[in-house]
Chains A and B, each alone.
Chain A
Amino acid sequence: MSLANPLQASFAESTARERVLQLLDAGSFTEILGPSARVMSPHLSQLGVPSSFDDGVVVGEGRLGGQPVLVAAQEGEFMGGGVGEVHGAKLVGLFQRALRQRPAAVLVLAESGGVRLHEANAGLIAVSEVMRALLATRAAGIPTLMLIGGANGCFGGMGLVARCADHVVMSDAARLSMSGPEVIESSHGVEEFDAKDRALVWRTTGGKHRYLMGDCDVLVDDQLGAFREAALQLLGQARPLTLEALEQEHALLAARLADHGDCADAVDIWRHLGIPDAPSVVNLDAADVRLLKHAVQEGAQP
């Protein structure tokens, strides 16, 4: 990162450790079980697959706007950010730490394909443990924030974990969903989902679509400083899990199915949402998409 202002650097093109360092207040980050601790996967060597000294996730504590926070960042360059036994346990431990320390938030810079398939069963259980640990933290009133901006997106079990958190922040370069396009294509053919059609992939699962649908709360530019600013705004803002809140969520999801369930493409949904020139959304930057959503919501008021 040779830019004069590192906060303007691309989130997507930075490493997990660079992201953490720029997101938090300068000099405040302390890593826990960092690479020198060499806590590594017990499963990869038997497959002849290289291990990583940090098992692909950075965890630790620091400050954001002067307030104490805990933070985790998944490294998409190592096994696509997949969650294995150790990787998952580091995330679980961070949430358990939050219950003792009561920070202003736990930030998860998620970049992951979900379960690390090389650790199959152990990875699946680990993802479930991460979800339970996040929910225990959320239940204690400690805000959990998912910041999604990596090139690999946030999929599979981590796509589920993301939607269990209090808040989701995405960049327009990021994706959030369940099954990757390659898996769907290999299951039902290229007519179902052409994984090589990048425009189709991004408008189906990318940040702009997720923001317009309300699946992420904040849409930012692909800049470290923009993620930092969004996280600062969300500190201390817990969203309690209540019957009323889940009834509202249920009504929203039922209405979405009724309103858009027959849409073949994101552009059709955007048109349904009242966006006049729906095909042009793909060319807008994050700020314009935010204005557009605001305008649509204003227009929907009686």
Chain B
Amino acid sequence: MIWTDLLPGLFGEHHQVSREGELLRGTAQLDGRTLAVVGTTDHAAIGIELALAQARAVLDTVRDHPGRPILLLVDTQGQRLRRRDELLGINRYMAHLGLCIELARQRGHRVIGLVYDQALSGGFITSGLIADACYALPEAEIRVMRLPAMARVTKIDEARLAALAESNPVFAPGVENYVAMGGVRALWRGDLAAQLREALAQAPITDERARDGAERGGRRLAAEVAQRVAQHPAQA
């Protein structure tokens, strides 16, 4: 879905979100309560400038509007793949965005992520995936890496990876798999405003994803293994 259709679906006419390049930024009202909206569009490649701009929007919200909920709108092709970004420390810029969102969470802002188009690895870890909870539209797609690059790195034939992406939930880009694995809390269908309202009221503030993945059968080991390490008897 394109962002200009998404916002009326969520807020009717009650939004003041504008686009600056690939950045989406502004406010919106739900039930008379104001939310901050921060995100990207056009399958943005997240370079250092765009990471910094999103961080600024989050920091401004924390500084000027304590407690205001934040909605992160995700549409990204992942981190920008340029040498200049690496030279200047893109991992630090993206981590900074993640830390700003973490600060907001710690100071009591509800932070909801929504993948409304596509999400890829690097651009997703420090946005939607670090929210209190991340949701997705049913037609959205989440990928770790494009198949040609993945074939090169894993040395698994691209045709085989393509076949796996058709059938294997660990490789398939469909968001249903992410729901089954607990990485996406739920898909939003139909009345988007109602589901945002419910997310703001119900989303957990602790990380429940491994437990969700186990309960939903999509990721069976993560919660159990973490618990075994955490609860292992201490040495004297």
Contacts and interface: CB of A to CB of B under 8 A. Distances in A.
A257 B53 CA distance: 12
Contact of A243 (B52, B62, B83): B62
A45 B124 CA distance: 28
A90 B88 CA distance: 31
B178 A125 contact: yes
A243 B59 contact: yes
B59 A250 contact: yes
Contacts of B48: 253, 257
Contacts of B181: 121-122, 125
Contacts of B49: 257
Contacts of B79: 178-179
A213 interface: yes
Interface string B44-85: 000011001001100100110000000000000001011111
Given A85-B221, A179-B81, A256-B88, A121 B125 contact: no
Nearest to B94: A160
A295 interface: no
Given A128-B125, A179-B81, A187-B81, A164 B220 contact: no
A24 interface: no
A147 interface: no
Interface string B203-230: 0000101100100000111111111111
A59 B229 contact: yes
Nearest to A188: B81
B121 A157 contact: yes
B229 A96 contact: yes
B82 to A, nearest CB: 7
Contact of B207 (A32, A85, A127, A133): A133
B97 to A, nearest CB: 10
A125 B209 contact: yes
Interface residues of B, number: 79
A250 B88 contact: no
Contacts of A241: 99, 102-103, 106
Contact of B178 (A117, A121, A176, A183): A121
A253 B142 CA distance: 29
A65 B210 CA distance: 35
B153 A85 contact: no
B59 A210 contact: no
Ranked nearest first, the 6 interchain pairs of A and B with the lowest CB-CB distance are A93-B229, A163-B95, A93-B226, A89-B225, A96-B230, A159-B91
Given A246-B59, A257-B88, 14 more contacts: A93-B230, A97-B230, A122-B170, A125-B178, A125-B213, A129-B210, A157-B121, A159-B91, A178-B90, A187-B149, A188-B81, A247-B63, A249-B99, A269-B87
Interface of B: 48-49, 52, 55-56, 59, 62-63, 79, 81-96, 98-100, 102-103, 106-107, 121-122, 124-126, 129-130, 142, 144-145, 148-150, 152-154, 156, 168-172, 177-178, 181-183, 207, 209-210, 213, 219-232, 234-235
Interface of A: 30, 32-33, 39, 42-43, 46-47, 59, 61, 85-86, 88-90, 92-94, 96-97, 100-101, 113, 115, 117-129, 131-133, 135-136, 139, 156-157, 159-164, 176-179, 181-184, 186-188, 192-193, 204-205, 209-210, 213, 215, 241-243, 246-247, 249-250, 253-254, 256-257, 260-261, 263-266, 269
